[in-house]
Structure 1
């Protein structure tokens, strides 16, 4: 059985280092606590069927509420999440209605 999170196998992929590091940082590099947190996350994602949600059609055009723009000082891509679209449509429209306003 392959255990993955965010679509990345935890032990068979070089990208898993980034994921493991996130859990270690979240627990101040205390390995036992980070492992427990990771284990609980994997179990929670399995129990709630999180991986299958990626394939589900939610009827939302995510390109309107999530977009990539530029890089931070360390060269990491920057992702903006405009979740206000789901709560205040007028505010979202006035702020993010076109590429120029982004």
Structure 2
């Protein structure tokens, strides 16, 4: 019986830790990105531009397929977030991106 109690306590503790997410208070979902505010701060990576892609009907961006939209300039990268949102993964990524503008 003691082992069951310890197991239940351990599971409850892990669930409480997973539910507590101190980073979520620092990120405001849907907030506007201010690319110009970061342009002059050399301590941050910054954002040169923001491209929103309408994914209605599926979109083919980049790659070698005929008809694929080529929207990157030299030195640019695209970040995509296809899996999630998973709070334990998404929030730290959003915080890291926010820290770098």
Judging by fraction of residues, say which structure has more helix. 1
Normalised TM-score (structure 2): 0.23
Rg comparison, structure with higher value: 2
Relative contact order: is structure 1 or structure 2 higher (C-alpha 8 Å, sep ≥ 6)? Answer: 2
